[in-house]
């Protein structure tokens, strides 16, 4: 029996390092709610991400929901359908209407040349996803947003640790959400980080994360409840995992790069497989290794099944194009976003994690290349 190769595998510190980091909790008994580790993690993140402000959350999805609630928007939001269902859910769950804009073929991010034709007098924001760490065309989007007075929020769940021309990716747009779920490149078990630029505009973000309570935590008679907030707090065990993993993140990304380079070397000349080209000026985190199966001897789904037969997990990602999710049935026409639908049927990601052995990358490539003869 061949060993299983998962599609992802969480990076973790040593058991001792984690235990050392959480040890103070056995004295303080302060387990959640802006504790000492939470605050230390925020400071370390601001330095690492080179951003002015961060807020921490229980998960990435709720971080996006709270960010949109804090911005107090109304109306329509232009967004990409080639993303995690979380992106559009965060819009709908805020009482806003998603308007799907198609994606571009080079890097599968929102096609900024199609945004302006979708703007109406109800449009209030653009919420776009950095896909597999390939960043949206941030300058062009910024120009459109400025011209029409729109807020820009990035779903940067895939982009932790990246820079664009040396600038931390979290500086672009008004706010960016990074997921630190166990399967992401940088993980805190469950968790989310929002970086934001305008302190005033997002002043309520932490209060909305804590039931909308404003005032002195726990000081009798001093609290007022100014927002219909939620409970979206990150706890101290998660912040500790983040503090530990942050110490090793550069090494982890460097290991992923070596593996990604090998995949590229082995697969770039295979007819019917398309690899995405690196974008100019972007320092990647190698969170995923995407492959577009287009004109190959077998279909994307058959290739995934073939890998599964060899105990290798590969997955469709993203699938389906979000506008065709069952919960939106009858609301959107696939004809408006043909490129997204095309790639939802052809894109997949291969196993990628820092501890993936190079022999396994070679074995995966052998099977894929062999797939030509299936």
Ligand X SMILES: *Cc1c(COP(=O)(O)O)cnc(C)c1O
Instruction: List residues binding ligand X (CB under 6 A).
Output: 59-61, 83-84, 86-87, 129, 155, 157-158, 179, 181, 192
Helix axes 358-370, 300-309, angle to 10 degrees: 130
Minimum distance, C-beta of residue 83 to ligand X, in the bound complex (Å): 5
Minimum distance, C-beta of residue 358 to ligand X, in the bound complex (Å): 26
Which one, 127 or 292, has the nearer CB to ligand X? Answer: 127
| Chain residue whose CB lies nearest ligand X | 60
Which one, 170 or 371, has the nearer CB to ligand X? Answer: 170
Which one, 350 or 368, has the nearer CB to ligand X? Answer: 350
Minimum distance, C-beta of residue 63 to ligand X, in the bound complex (Å): 7
Which one, 157 or 304, has the nearer CB to ligand X? Answer: 157
Minimum distance, C-beta of residue 158 to ligand X, in the bound complex (Å): 6
Which one, 86 or 337, has the nearer CB to ligand X? Answer: 86
Minimum distance, C-beta of residue 357 to ligand X, in the bound complex (Å): 25
Minimum distance, C-beta of residue 84 to ligand X, in the bound complex (Å): 3
Which one, 34 or 61, has the nearer CB to ligand X? Answer: 61
């Amino acid at each position: 029996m061949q060993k299983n190769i998962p599609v992802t595998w969480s990076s973790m510190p040593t058991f001792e390092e984690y235990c050392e980091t959480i040890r103070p909790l056995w004295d303080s008994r302060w387990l959640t709610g802006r504790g000492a580790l939470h605050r230390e993690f925020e400071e370390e993140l601001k330095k690492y991400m080179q951003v002015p402000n961060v807020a921490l959350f229980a998960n990435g999805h709720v971080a996006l929901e709270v960010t949109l609630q804090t911005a107090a928007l109304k109306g329509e939001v232009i967004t990409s359908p080639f993303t995690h269902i979380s992106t559009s859910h965060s819009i709908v769950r805020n009482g806003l209407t998603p308007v799907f804009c198609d994606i571009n073929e080079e890097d599968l991010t929102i096609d900024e040349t199609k945004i302006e034709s979708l703007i109406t007098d109800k449009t209030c924001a653009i919420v776009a996803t950095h896909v597999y760490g390939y960043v949206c065309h941030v300058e062009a989007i910024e120009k459109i947003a400025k011209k029409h007075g729109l807020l820009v929020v990035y779903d940067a769940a895939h982009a932790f640790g990246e820079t664009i021309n040396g600038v931390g990716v979290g500086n672009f747009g008004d706010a960016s959400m990074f997921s630190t779920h166990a399967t992401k490149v940088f993980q805190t078990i469950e968790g989310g980080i929002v970086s934001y630029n305008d302190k005033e505009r997002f002043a309520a973000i932490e209060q909305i994360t804590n039931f909308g309570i404003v005032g002195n935590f726990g000081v009798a008679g001093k609290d007022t409840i100014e927002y219909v907030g939620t409970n979206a707090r990150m706890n101290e065990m998660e912040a500790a995992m983040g503090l530990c993993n942050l110490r090793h993140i550069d090494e982890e990304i460097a290991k992923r790069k070596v593996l990604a380079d090998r995949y590229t070397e082995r697969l770039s000349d295979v007819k019917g497989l398309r690899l995405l080209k690196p974008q100019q000026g972007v320092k990647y985190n190698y969170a995923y290794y995407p492959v577009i199966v287009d004109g190959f001897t077998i279909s994307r789904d058959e290739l995934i099944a073939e890998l599964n037969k060899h105990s290798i997990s590969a997955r469709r990602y993203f699938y389906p194009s979000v506008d065709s999710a069952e919960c939106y049935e009858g609301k959107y026409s696939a004809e408006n976003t043909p490129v997204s639908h095309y790639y939802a049927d052809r894109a997949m990601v291969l196993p990628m994690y820092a501890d993936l052995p190079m022999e396994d990358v070679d074995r995966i490539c052998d099977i894929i290349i062999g797939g030509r003869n299936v």
